[in-house]
Amino acid sequence: MNPALAMPETLPPRRRGRIQLLLILMVVIGPMLLATAMYKFSFWVPEGRSYHGTLIGNGQTLSDLGVQDAAPGETWQLLVTAPAGCQQDCQQMVFVARQIHIGLGRDAGRASHALAVTGVSAEYAEKLSQEYPRLKRYGLDPSTYTKATENLGGAQLWIVDPHGNLVLRYDGTTKGKKILNDLRHLLKLSNIG
């Protein structure tokens, strides 16, 4: 048998094997390449979101926000901030934060609520100590806060992860049920806290 004549008989199975290998590689590598291209060039990005607040995706921490004496804890945190003292809107947000914490039910141990302000009146400080015994209180540097938040104004509620990173921000118009749903979703997905 002449080897030159036998080659055409073995070529089609070898070519078929190469095509199968290329198809397998494209099935495995193709989605990764497509996802990378979608991220880099921002195409086919879904517009819908499953959260109700403003996502903080720039790596800001509590110290970047101007919160003083706040060390990262072991739990997620609902932090209310008010740069101009705790007025009516701030007091309402503190109440909402506590209600959200209670609404977590069996997951309440994975979260806490806190207040960061420049100062509170003596009357409200007494009310906080009586009605909100578990509320953590921190100081707030107004200049750092204003620079970090670009003059948001008014009281804000933040969801902070156990490492001290800011995750979501809500203003006073956001309903507590929406914030509770977002926090439940985060706790469900999180392995920390």
- Do 5 and 73 share a domain, yes or no? no
Q: Name the residue among 61, 77, 64 with its Cα closest to residue 136.
A: 77
What is the domain-level CATH number for residue 180? 3.40.30.10
User: Has residue 2 got a pLDDT over 60?
Assistant: no
Tell me the per-residue pLDDT of 99-125, one tens digit each, with 9 for 90 and over.
999 999 999 999 999 999 988 889 999
CA distance linking residue 61 with residue 73, whole number of Å: 13
Q: What is the pLDDT of residues 149-179, one digit of tens each?
A: 887 878 999 999 999 999 999 998 899 999 9
Q: Which residue in 106, 88, 81, 96 sits closest to 158, CA to CA? A: 81
Q: What is the pLDDT of residue 62?
A: 92
Q: According to the model, what pLDDT value does residue 168 have? A: 95
Evaluate if residue 50 carries a pLDDT over 90: no
Judgement on whether residues 164 and 116 belong to the same structural domain of the protein: yes
| Pair 110, 179 in one domain | yes
Summarised one tens digit per residue, pLDDT across range 118-144 is: 888 899 999 999 999 999 999 999 889
Both 136 and 184 in one domain: the answer is yes
Let me know whether 113 and 141 are in one domain. yes
Residue 152 is given by DSSP the state -
What dihedral do alpha carbons 62, 67, 72, 76 form, nearest 10°?
Answer: -70
- Burial of 59 from C-beta contacts in 10 A (0-12 / 13-18 / 19+): exposed
d(CA 129, CA 104): 22
58-72: average pLDDT = 88
Q: Please report which confidence band the pLDDT of residue 5 belongs to, taking 50, 70 and 90 as the band edges.
A: very low
Sign of CA dihedral 125, 131, 137, 142: negative
In this prediction, residues 1-26 reach a mean pLDDT of: 72
Mark whether 92 and 177 lie in a shared domain: yes
Do 101 and 162 belong to one domain? yes
Q: Are residues 38 and 76 in the same domain?
A: no
Residue pLDDT, tens place only, 179-188: 999 999 999 9
The domain of 41 spans: 1-45
Predicted TM-score of the model (pTM):
0.75
* Same domain assignment for residues 84 and 168: yes
Regarding whether 119 and 80 lie in a shared domain, the answer is yes
On whether both 101 and 156 belong to a single domain, the answer is yes
Q: Name the domain count of the chain.
A: 2
Please state, in angstroms and rounded to a whole number, the distance separating the CA atoms of residues 30 and 130: 60
